[in-house]
Amino acid sequence: MKCFSLCLGSTILAALTIVSCGSHSVSESAGSGAVPAGVDGDKAPEAKGYKVDLVVEGFDRPWGLTWLPDGRMLLTTKSGGVYTVTGDTSTPVELVGFPEVYDGGQGGLMDVAVHPDFAKNGWVYFTASTGSGQANHTTLIRGKLTGNRLTEVKTLFEVTPLKNGGQHFGSRIVWRKDKTMLLAIGDGGNPPTKLDGEWIRNNAQNTQNHLGKVLHLTEEGKPPAKAAVSGGRPEIYSYGHRNIQGMCIDPRDGTVYATEHGARGGDELNKIEAGKNYGWPKATYSKEYSGPEISPDRSLPGMVDPMLIWTPSKAPSGLAIYTGDKFPEWKGNLFSGGLVTRDVRRIVLDKSGKVTSQESIKIGARVRDVRQGPDGWLYVITDEPGGRVLRISR
């Protein structure tokens, strides 16, 4: 089993070795199989040598952000809008034949991703919740973007089964080098939400459906030639996830990282590998919102332990790995947005991929997404009415 770094709050078990709050590093306690410990998730020191500037504002709860080959930003809003951004000017995209978005609870129009061969095919991919409050699911949608008009819209994939309520849709899209995609799907929601007579979240361990999974799909929304999970649905890449809203691929070596929400504490950073089980809800540091433990187990055989845990929750959304030259000291670090902590966490990894420390880049608003721009700076979108695009630079 993997060891992981743990950012704990005030109720740390005496058996854990606590890292000095002065150093804010993350280390392991002594002894074979010892549980590593870290610092309070709300008390990461502030990063130095950066500034945050406004790029553009006025969006209704923006959700996803990417760039087109011509340098324009492409941005989604939860309520169903799509915009291009040039400089400090945003332009709405006309959506022709786009399915109706279920904008309820955590649902809405979510992520956006440009096909690697966009210059040839013009394809843009979106995730959205569709349906109604009583029967809904996450849907993968593709359209052809020409100027500021999206046409040839097609639904490529729909999550099964249908669920009710407005919780835990995921969702992020990332492209692999082979031009297939990974798609993160939430577990469907918290108790008292049920499916077939049991808590819906238990479906994260059911490899016959899509809830609580990372899926592997072709550009047409089809399963790959080879299944990752023996006996499971062919499109399932990994399982045992609660609600991933941050995911990225290191372009240097193809490593996939993801952040997912816990309930009351227990937010996770994971390295996502094909065929692996990430434990939820059988093994977790998260607790019920009402206080009791969700599971007595923190780690179980055959399940992957997190790289990093945040307790109390920071509510991670958006994740980027920095590969630019504007911040050479940040190269290879992960950057995770926080909806609750209202910041971006710089997460430092050593050469072996282990988390060694983290710092806070103060934003002062709910951070929904973090991306590295083509200019080498980091960009953030804020989850709020009148939402903003911000640039992190020097």
When pLDDT is averaged across residues 341-350 and rounded to a whole number, the result is 97
Is residue 16 assigned to a domain? no
Closest CA to 65 of 248, 205, 192, 220: 248
Is residue 102 assigned to a domain? yes
Query: Mind listing the pLDDT tens digit for each residue in 277-311?
Result: 999 999 999 999 999 999 999 999 999 999 999 99
What pLDDT is recorded for position 42? 53
Question: Does residue 161 have a cis peptide bond before it, meaning omega lies within 30 degrees of 0?
Answer: yes
Is residue 228 assigned to a domain? yes
What pLDDT is recorded for position 7? 43
Is residue 246 assigned to a domain? yes
CA distance 139 to 296: 34
pTM above 0.75, yes or no: yes
Return the active site residues.
Answer: 168
Is residue 10 assigned to a domain? no
Domain that holds residue 266: 44-393
Is residue 330 assigned to a domain? yes
When pLDDT is averaged across residues 101-118 and rounded to a whole number, the result is 98
Query: Mind listing the pLDDT tens digit for each residue in 28-75?
Result: 222 223 333 333 455 799 999 999 999 999 999 999 999 999 999 999
What pLDDT is recorded for position 6? 40
What's the CATH code of the domain at 325?
A: 2.120.10.30
Query: Mind listing the pLDDT tens digit for each residue in 315-332?
Result: 999 999 999 999 999 999
Q: DSSP state, 37?
A: B
Query: Mind listing the pLDDT tens digit for each residue in 181-204?
Result: 999 999 999 999 999 999 999 999
Asked if residues 394 and 376 have their Cβ atoms less than 8 Å apart, the reply is: no
What pLDDT is recorded for position 3? 41
Model confidence at 8: pLDDT above 50: no
The mean pLDDT of the chain is: 90
CA distance 291 to 136: 29
Is residue 37 assigned to a domain? no
Q: Which two tokens stand for residue 3?
A: 């060891």
Report how far apart, in Å, the C-alpha atoms of 281 and of each of 72, 90, 95, 198, 203 are: 40, 41, 38, 13, 9
Closest CA to 90 of 107, 53, 125, 65: 65
Q: Which two tokens stand for residue 22?
A: 């002065």
Closest CA to 145 of 75, 239, 48: 75
Q: How many domains are contained in the chain?
A: 1
Instruction: List alpha helices for 70-175, DSSP H.
Output: 118-121
Q: DSSP state, 168?
A: -
Model confidence at 15: pLDDT above 70: no
Query: Mind listing the pLDDT tens digit for each residue in 133-161?
Result: 999 999 999 999 999 999 999 999 999 99
CA distance 337 to 315: 8
Q: Which two tokens stand for residue 307?
A: 């790289």
Query: Mind listing the pLDDT tens digit for each residue in 219-245?
Result: 999 999 999 999 999 999 999 999 999
What pLDDT is recorded for position 13? 31
Is residue 186 assigned to a domain? yes
